[in-house]
Homo-oligomer: A and B are copies of this chain.
């Protein structure tokens, strides 16, 4: 069984791109990833494309723009885990011995699909009774506050941290730092969550070039980062307990990934986690075992999750700061980790990071069918 390495990484500016399409953005990201890998584009043997709302054969349109004719390509969809799923399937194709050099790209042009916020499917029975994403995460936040004593101000520190990190990331959608007061005074969305507690509507794309151990050795530029695990699980009712403040699906998927990588949560030096809402980051880092249950808000307050802290969380700015182009998000997390582990983190470089973890959670918010969770671990 071959190991899998990331040879190259690329991503577009995240934000609003009214004059571009999802395939334009995807092609830009792939081109940059190939350049970054320093390989001839003809070495690419296959590709996987993750997106949610971009329609039929989106990945094929990306390859056509790049002139990469005739390659095997599969489009994959797993809600907000779509990009991470593309990375996983690309790594399986390599481990199967089917291909040696494979691109995984994630792309989404959300602003052309939705006016303003994402609207639920018209036949979604939960949305019909108000259980929209912000509504459900708001209930989880309220419950977490009840159970642990987290204050509203502590919760606001998550967007403050992530938007600070984003201010140091030239590719982030939001470059302006915010204060706790800004968060508390922003427009209410679903009490207690305000606008700055919610991830935005974003266009963008990200791509990585993956290679087998042998190809990485042959083609590598000395900067290859090992993809030590890429775990995926689907949630249904049965995997979720009644608690709204712990994520068994995240926990189970992380357990798979730790086992595969042969490490534990204590070995992780940085994490990119799915902070679609401020409270989501809290639930995820605790589900991942990176911080003890109920203790993350105090740890954030103490600076432990800051860039200079014990375990920086969302150094890229996360979904809250960098933006959330659904299908691109999981790949962009890997791009950030690769750059950090290579020491290319720029103003937000984490000193001496060796192990990075990326987490996505797509689909329904809690305890309900339709979720997809991914955990990927990268090792320098």
| A interface residues, Cβ below 8 angstroms from B | 1, 47, 52, 55-57, 59-61, 63-64, 67-79, 85, 88-89, 92-93, 95-98, 121, 231-239, 249, 252, 362-364, 369-372
Contact = CB atoms under 8 A, between A and B. Distances in A.
A312 B71 CA distance: 30
Contacts of A67: 236, 238
A73 to B, nearest CB: 4
Copies per complex of this chain? 2
Given A57-B78, A92-B96, A70 B1 contact: no
A147 to B, nearest CB: 25
A78 B74 CA distance: 6
B96 A234 contact: no
A57 B70 contact: no
Contact of A239 (B70, B233, B369): B70
A57 B88 contact: no
A57 B1 contact: no
Given A96-B92, A97-B95, A369 B64 contact: yes
A370 B238 contact: no
9 contacts: A57-B364, A60-B371, A63-B234, A63-B236, A70-B234, A70-B249, A71-B234, A74-B88, A96-B97
Contacts of A238: 67, 69-70
B233 A70 contact: yes
Contacts of A59: 234
Contacts of A55: 121
Most buried by B among A57, A68, A235: A57
A119 B368 CA distance: 33
A237 B64 contact: yes
A211 to B, nearest CB: 15
A330 B240 CA distance: 34
Contact of A363 (B57, B95, B362): B57
A106 to B, nearest CB: 13
Contacts of A362: 57
Nearest to A98: B92
A60 B96 contact: no
B73 A74 contact: no
B370 A69 contact: no
Given A56-B121, A95-B97, 18 more contacts: A56-B77, A57-B77, A57-B362, A57-B363, A57-B372, A64-B369, A69-B238, A70-B235, A70-B249, A70-B252, A71-B233, A73-B372, A74-B76, A74-B89, A74-B232, A75-B78, A96-B96, A96-B97
B76 A76 contact: yes
Most buried by B among A60, A71, A233, A238: A60
Contacts of A72: 231-234
Given A57-B372, A60-B236, A75 B74 contact: no
A297 to B, nearest CB: 28
